[in-house]
Chain A
Amino acid sequence: MPSLDDLKKRIKSVKSTQKITKAMKMVAAAKLRKAQENAEKGRPYSQKMQNIILNLTKSISDPENAPKLLVGTGKDKTYLCVVLTADRGLCGGFNSNICKLAKLNFKKILGEGKNLKIITVGSKGLDQIKRDYGKYIVKKFSFKEKKQISFSEADLIGKEIINLFDNEEFDICQLFYNNFKNVITQIPQAQQIIPAIKKDSSDKQEKNSTYYEFEPEEDEILEDLLPKNISTQLFKAFLENAASEQGSRMTAMDNATRNAGDLVDKLTINYNRSRQASITKELIEIISGAESL
């Protein structure tokens, strides 16, 4: 049984923790609104970009010579996995969810006897993946100092990926990030960005083909567009991730605040009980002392 003084101290410390988590929740909520706005604003660009690429691929004249970024190298021997996580912790299952999904995929890829290469973005993901898959990591990025991630950062990573692709370092590139659905739901996702199209979707595209004029030729446009598309998809993933991080942190901190509240209530009841018990004990002592006289 802890003494009254101990209980008092504990209540005080839990209360101050509660204050901290509450403040973090407020901050996350404010940041969330901005991040969410950004994510929503960024969606049309990536969507329309995908649309144009789809239209282009429909009217490509000879698919045999199409750019490799679009149709792939024809092999699937080496996988490049880009794992996007946050630089900060205390955001619930946000980082672990991405890593869990990524690790599951790593296991599958290695299980099939294929090569694996990993790029990590964000220090939290690096810490988690390093433990089991450290030797597969080829590059790591962290934008801890940046307050807001802009397109140029996405472009930087995009160029790096394309560089690796041009050197035939990998055949398939996958992106892991959290898709922001709403404040309490974020879905970890794996998205394939190279090759840009999946083989099975080609038969559906024939139906509604509009005739486009191209200037210059399709191939040249694709060559310009596909690298841009990689950066765009990365940027979209960044934005979704940023919104998810704040959303996740907000719910996590909300939970923590509530838990702290429950704990304070429980401790207070304990405190009052032991206070009363000690008073009763003292009374009994006084009364029995008076009686014995």
Chain B
Amino acid sequence: MSNFTVEIISPAKSILKIEAREVILPSFEGEIGILKDHIPIITFLRPGIIKILSDANQEFFVEDGTVEFLNNNLLVLTSTAQKLSDLKKENLNSIITETEKAINKDPLKDKEKYLLTYKLETLKNIIQ
């Protein structure tokens, strides 16, 4: 099995550094899956779930972030990564109502609306 290194770093600390078989990222223009020997890529994220497939699968909820893949090293820089299993239902509900409020605010750029819609969708999916 061919593995590569995944690193998730937040401004305060390094969240995760493991070997993985495949990583699925919610990139800004759609989900992308990354396997070993992927072409070097730089992209950024929209709200969604990062899935790390390895011996022990892990999932993270992110709101934004920057991704770089180079020499079989996947680097995710994000200030909002949270492990899916750490998220609590009560907290999620309050975030959802907040996001809904934000969407309904009047002057909203297309990009903001796009991001918020995805955030809402992802959060609702997590709850179900």
Report the minimum CB–CB distance from A262 to chain B (whole Å).
42
Return chain B residues, CB-CB under 8 Å to A42: 11-13
Contact with A along B82-114 (1 / 0, CB 8 A): 000000000000000000000000000000000
CB contacts under 8 Å to A, within B39-57, are: 39-44
Is B116 part of the contact surface with A, judged by Cβ < 8 Å? no
CB contacts under 8 Å to B, within A197-248, are: 210-216, 221, 224-225, 228, 232, 235-236
Given A52-B42, A225-B66, A235-B11: A45 in contact with B77 (beta carbons within 8 A): yes
A interface bracket (residues with beta carbon within 8 Å of B): 20 to 34
Is A151 part of the contact surface with B, judged by Cβ < 8 Å? yes
Return chain A residues, CB-CB under 8 Å to B27: 215
Return chain A residues, CB-CB under 8 Å to B43: 214-216, 221
Which residue in A45, A51, A212, A221 is a CB contact (below 8 Å) of B11?
A45
Given A44-B9, A48-B75, A216-B29: A225 in contact with B44 (beta carbons within 8 A): yes
Report the minimum CB–CB distance from B107 to chain A (whole Å).
16
Return chain A residues, CB-CB under 8 Å to B40: 210-213
Return chain A residues, CB-CB under 8 Å to B77: 45, 48-49, 52
Report the minimum CB–CB distance from A235 to chain B (whole Å).
5
Instruction: Determine whether the beta carbon of A48 is less than 8 Å from that of B9.
Output: yes
Instruction: Determine whether the beta carbon of A212 is less than 8 Å from that of B42.
Output: yes
Is A192 part of the contact surface with B, judged by Cβ < 8 Å? no
Give the docked Cα–Cα distance between A44 and B70 (Å). 16
**B14 nearest CB neighbor, chain A only:** A44
Is A56 part of the contact surface with B, judged by Cβ < 8 Å? yes
Which residue in B13, B14, B66 is a CB contact (below 8 Å) of A49?
B66
Give the docked Cα–Cα distance between A41 and B14 (Å). 7
Return chain B residues, CB-CB under 8 Å to A221: 42-44, 66
Is A150 part of the contact surface with B, judged by Cβ < 8 Å? yes
Return chain A residues, CB-CB under 8 Å to B29: 215-216
Number of residue pairs A-B, CB distance < 8 angstroms: 78
Return chain B residues, CB-CB under 8 Å to A49: 66, 77
Is A55 part of the contact surface with B, judged by Cβ < 8 Å? yes
Is B4 part of the contact surface with A, judged by Cβ < 8 Å? no
Given A41-B12, A44-B9: A215 in contact with B66 (beta carbons within 8 A): no
Instruction: Determine whether the beta carbon of A214 is less than 8 Å from that of B28.
Output: no
Is B32 part of the contact surface with A, judged by Cβ < 8 Å? yes
**A51 nearest CB neighbor, chain B only:** B68
Return chain A residues, CB-CB under 8 Å to B79: 151, 155, 228
Return chain A residues, CB-CB under 8 Å to B11: 42, 45-46, 151, 154, 232, 235-236
CB contacts under 8 Å to B, within A112-170, are: 150-151, 154-155
Instruction: Determine whether the beta carbon of A215 is less than 8 Å from that of B41.
Output: yes
Instruction: Determine whether the beta carbon of A214 is less than 8 Å from that of B41.
Output: yes
Give the docked Cα–Cα distance between A42 and B14 (Å). 8
Instruction: Determine whether the beta carbon of A56 is less than 8 Å from that of B42.
Output: yes
Return chain B residues, CB-CB under 8 Å to A216: 28-29, 43
CB contacts under 8 Å to A, within B5-51, are: 9-14, 27-29, 32, 39-44
Return chain A residues, CB-CB under 8 Å to B66: 49, 52, 221, 224-225, 228
Give the docked Cα–Cα distance between A245 and B66 (Å). 31
Return chain A residues, CB-CB under 8 Å to B12: 38, 41-42, 150-151
Instruction: Determine whether the beta carbon of A52 is less than 8 Å from that of B41.
Output: no
Return chain B residues, CB-CB under 8 Å to A45: 9-11, 77
Contact with B along A34-78 (1 / 0, CB 8 A): 000010011011101101100110000000000000000000000
Report the minimum CB–CB distance from B22 to chain A (whole Å).
18
